């Protein structure tokens, strides 16, 4: 039930039905592809009415339940692709350890290709099918690509993927097994991104990159829609939602979903956002205070999914953080490793960029950004299987023993 598309730069409005709205649109015709990113606006009264007739509570337990808030025709929804409605783990012991009222872990690793990115890719591929595209492309630090390859395989269309040659092997393996054409770019993610855009223009491929294709952000938004519904069972809207930031589309998308649910009256207040970046790869705090990006730094982080020096969607991320009275904290690789263990001890297997959000909560608690009586929901954005080397680093070594009971006894004594 789209009302219009609005350019985030100049405010120009496009009707989704008018002839001048590009079909495989992407950007504002006046502002161009670099600045003219569009945003979907919905007729929320019509959505409310529709939900009265067909209540959410009775629907499909996947993100397709939000049909009215997705930029897809009814006939394009793919209920057969099980994406979203991921569980929330109420980590009571962790809350006690951190001295917080409540800590909720939303386990996005349980999506089809084991990361949050499936939300965006599933909607993107469904849209590509709707507009008759048979070839799709993206640049990615890994997860967006594997989720695109996964859904392209489900849809039977061709996926072209640009990754930095340093992407973790398990992510590459997933890509290749899903049958994508993989370009391992001998350069940074930023260079891979640029090259992908050029190739899309040159070959006419459908561009899945979230930063410029607003359809994808609508997929990411579903996490915010879901949180709004699910937290009712856990004491209501938490004081904070913690998310790690790379390009910034994830945090912006989650915020859009929460804000729509607030406007629709599903939740009566909004949480604050805690954005988390890695030390050494942290342009967002600067962008938040200066309204522009800093010169790209040369630092790096083990959290490859947020190893982004030039965030493509920094403006949307900064807007979301401002609207949410949000804060940004930075975490070291050591703190990320500790958070992988911490998350694991409470039943959720996190990749480094996912654990970074929890590491950020620990930092925010220590520095009293998050106060002792407050509650927080942490988006665990990807599975620990995504980067098994880092998981091994975090987990340490097993107890190596001879095959007899005496050895078990000795090992038990030594390890307790
Ligand atoms: C992509 C990703 C992020 C960050 O999302 P952005 O939209 O780039 O800010 C965080 N965690 C994981 C696991 C990701 O794959
Ligand atoms: Zn514009």
Calpha distance 242→224 (Å, rounded) = 12
Which pLDDT does position 25 carry in this prediction? 59
pTM of the model: 0.94
What integer is the mean pLDDT of 285-308?
A: 90
CA angle 225, 329, 312 (to 5 degrees): 65
Bridge partners of residue 276, in order along the sequence? 244, 329
Averaged pLDDT score across all residues of the chain: 92
Quick one: angle between helices 314-323 and 249-263, nearest 10? 40
Which pLDDT does position 32 carry in this prediction? 84
**274 C-alpha to ligand 2 centroid (Å):** 29
Q: Ligand 1: which of 110, 121, 142, 143 to mutate, most ligand atoms within 8 Å of CB?
A: 143
For 344-378, the pLDDT digits (tens) are 999 999 999 999 999 999 999 999 999 999 999 99
Residue 381: nearest ligand to its CA? 1
Q: Ligand 1: which of 218, 243, 246 to mutate, most ligand atoms within 8 Å of CB?
A: 246
Calpha distance 377→322 (Å, rounded) = 19
Domains of the chain with bracketed CATH: 88-111+215-395 (3.40.50.1100)
What integer is the mean pLDDT of 311-318?
A: 88
Calpha distance 214→390 (Å, rounded) = 32
In this prediction, residue 209 has a pLDDT band, given cuts at 50, 70 and 90, of confident
**401 C-alpha to ligand 1 centroid (Å):** 40
In this prediction, residue 63 has a pLDDT band, given cuts at 50, 70 and 90, of very high
Index of the ligand 1 atom closest to the CA of residue 117: 15
Which pLDDT does position 18 carry in this prediction? 58
For 241-258, the pLDDT digits (tens) are 999 999 999 999 999 999
27 assigned ligand-binding residue: no
Calpha distance 111→247 (Å, rounded) = 20
Which pLDDT does position 37 carry in this prediction? 83
Report yes or no: 160 and 180 within 8 Å, Cβ to Cβ: yes
């Amino acid at each position: 039930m789209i009302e219009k598309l609005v350019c985030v730069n100049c405010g120009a409005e496009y009707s989704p039905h008018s002839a001048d709205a590009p079909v495989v649109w992407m950007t504002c015709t006046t502002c161009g592809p670099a600045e003219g990113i569009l945003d979907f606006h919905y007729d929320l009264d019509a959505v409310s009415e529709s939900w009265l007739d067909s209540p959410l509570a009775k629907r499909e337990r996947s993100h397709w339940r939000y049909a009215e808030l997705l930029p897809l025709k009814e006939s394009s929804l793919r209920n057969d692709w099980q994406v979203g409605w991921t569980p929330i783990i109420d980590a009571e012991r962790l809350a006690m350890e951190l001295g917080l009222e409540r800590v909720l872990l939303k386990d996005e690793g349980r999506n089809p290709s084991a990361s949050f990115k499936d939300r965006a890719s599933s909607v993107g591929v469904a849209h590509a099918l709707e507009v008759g595209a048979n070839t799709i492309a993206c640049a990615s630090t890994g997860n967006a690509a594997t989720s695109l390859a996964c859904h392209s395989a489900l849809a039977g269309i061709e996926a072209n993927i640009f990754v930095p040659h340093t992407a973790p092997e398990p992510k590459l393996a997933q890509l290749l097994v899903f049958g994508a054409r993989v370009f391992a770019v001998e350069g940074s993610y930023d260079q891979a991104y640029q090259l992908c855009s050029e190739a899309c223009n040159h070959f006419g491929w459908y561009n899945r990159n979230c930063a410029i294709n607003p359809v994808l952000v609508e997929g990411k938004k579903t996490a915010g829609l879901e949180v709004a519904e699910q937290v009712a069972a856990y004491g209501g809207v938490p004081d904070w939602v913690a998310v790690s930031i790379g390009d910034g589309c994830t945090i912006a998308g989650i915020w859009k979903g929460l804000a729509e649910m607030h406007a629709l009256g599903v939740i009566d207040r909004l949480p604050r956002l805690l954005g988390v970046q890695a030390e050494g790869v942290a342009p967002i705090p600067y962008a938040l205070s200066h309204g522009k990006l800093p010169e790209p730094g040369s630092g790096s982080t083990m959290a490859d999914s947020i190893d982004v020096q030039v965030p493509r969607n920094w403006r949307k991320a900064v807007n979301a953080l401002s609207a949410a009275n949000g804060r940004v904290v930075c975490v070291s690789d050591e703190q990320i490793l500790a958070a992988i263990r911490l998350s694991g001890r409470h039943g959720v297997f996190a990749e480094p960029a996912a654990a970074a959000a929890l590491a950020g909560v620990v930092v925010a608690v220590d520095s009293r950004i998050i106060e002792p009586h407050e509650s927080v929901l942490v988006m665990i954005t990807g599975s620990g299987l995504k980067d098994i080397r880092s998981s091994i680093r975090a987990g340490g070594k097993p107890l190596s023993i001879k095959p007899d009971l005496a050895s078990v006894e000795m090992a038990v004594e030594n390890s307790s």
